[in-house]
Amino acid sequence: MKRYFNKVDVNTVKNDQAWLFCDKDRFSIKILYNQPYAKNNVKWINFMSAAQKLHSIVTRNPLLFLSGIGTLIVFISTFVFLTSNATPPPKQAVSDQAPSPVEHSNSAVILIYHHFGKNEYPSTNIRLAQFDAQLDYLEQNQFNVWSLSQLVTALKNQTPIPEKTVVFTIDDAWKSVYTEAFPRFKKRGWPMTVFVNTDAIDKGYQSNMTWEQMREMQQYGAEFANHAKTHQKLVQQPDESYDTWKTRVTQEIKVAQQRLKSELGEQTNQTKLFSYPYGEYSEALANLVQKMGYVGIAQNSGAVGYQSDLRALMRFPMSEVYADMDAFKLKVNTHVFPVKKITPFDPVITENPPKLILEFTSPPQRNIQCFNQHGEPLLLDWASETKLEITSDSPLEPPRSRYACTQMTPDGDWRWISHGWVISHKNNMD
């Protein structure tokens, strides 16, 4: 059997593929399922007994050789057919039914960028070669590129969202947005949504765009939205009273909105989009943002749909470390998880490790796998057919962490959802 199957390097296996290879120590065939965060999710099938029996028959009676070969061919053909149509094994068997049908429409992916071609900021930068490859892929595969305001309006009104809809958002209004991203979008006639922390523009920082440049971009479909006045963290601080915090946050958002309208026109940010600085929010902050009439934009990875919480819409980060083409293709083709409720909504943890509960719209949800930000598997407990409890076997490290869950759909696409955690040293139990 060793001669018929070649060993495969795990690191070269592409997403959505199953490979076979022989393990020299166990004389077995190994089926490797490669999923996001799960390169070592494997299943063993031992063929020693079958191989020995076939060898015995052939050596005893050469006339049965052709019959043995025929049997082997039928066996291998059946095996290959089954593995090529298999889906990754679930961590827990919940039900014998298949995953719920995929909603290919009425779902979209929001991407978040910061710097373009600024290699000194690898954690928030996208290399220009990467960015060009991403734009070319979307163009060649006829993706629909929407503005965020267009998508949010569709989510609120539950109007149709076509398949393969993608939104580009950019935080902080760095100068490279104007010098590098804007010409590429202008050439294609695509919109972008830029979140502006207005103090940086008013103070004339050389690393940021100017109001005049933004006005030029508006003429070609770019829109600008609220990223607070100073880009300070808006989660209530330990030494800050509730009233002081509420006043501070309200002013940060109101002043930024006033400056946007004053410089870019009264029509600016009519949809009232607000991106949380650093992607950090609490339930109290999200509720205040909602009460002020804004849609909150977070940085948790996942697709969005009609049931998405408008206090914290998910976005996929696109810094260079997360933006290779295989990862990009996977993310822009991701579909929304049919989750009706996430508990707790608040990312600020009260116990460490925290428990996350996902409640699904319909049972069952098989083949779901969940991982921490290091790609290590999390513990899954199905409280019911529609309620999944997720936790870690060790405390999370401050200041931020994340749980992410994925599921392969029947047609080989992916669902993806994540939840960020904010951890202080006080509630880190290590």
Q: What residues does each domain of the chain span?
A: 10-84, 107-336
Q: Which CATH superfamily includes the segment(s) 107-336?
A: Glycoside hydrolase/deacetylase (3.20.20.370)
Q: Which of 322, 294, 285, 329 has the alpha carbon at shortest distance from 418?
A: 322
Interval 405-418 mean pLDDT: 87
pLDDT band per the 50, 70, 90 thresholds, residue 65 = low
pLDDT band per the 50, 70, 90 thresholds, residue 313 = very high
Whether the CB-CB separation of 108 and 161 falls below 8 Å is answered with: yes
pLDDT band per the 50, 70, 90 thresholds, residue 185 = very high
pLDDT for residue 176 is more than 90: yes
pLDDT of residue 399: 87
pLDDT band per the 50, 70, 90 thresholds, residue 308 = very high
pLDDT for residue 236 is more than 50: yes
pLDDT for residue 109 is more than 80: yes
pLDDT of residue 367: 84
pLDDT for residue 253 is more than 90: yes
pLDDT for residue 210 is more than 60: yes
Q: Over the chain, what is the mean pLDDT?
A: 81
The neighbour count for residue 388, using CB atoms within 10 Å, is: 23
Better-scored residue on pLDDT, 65 or 381 = 381
Q: Which of 125, 183, 173 has the alpha carbon at shortest distance from 323?
A: 125
The percent of residues above 90 in pLDDT, for the chain, comes to: 65
The one-character DSSP state at 98 is P
pLDDT of residue 365: 61
Interval 164-182 mean pLDDT: 98
pLDDT for residue 88 is more than 70: no
pLDDT tens profile 23-43: 333 333 333 333 443 333 333
pLDDT tens profile 211-234: 999 999 999 999 999 999 999 999
With a CB cutoff of 8 Å and minimum separation 6, the contacts of 310 are 152, 155, 156, 290, 295, 296
pTM: 0.75
pLDDT of residue 10: 36
3-class DSSP state of 189: coil
pLDDT for residue 81 is more than 70: no
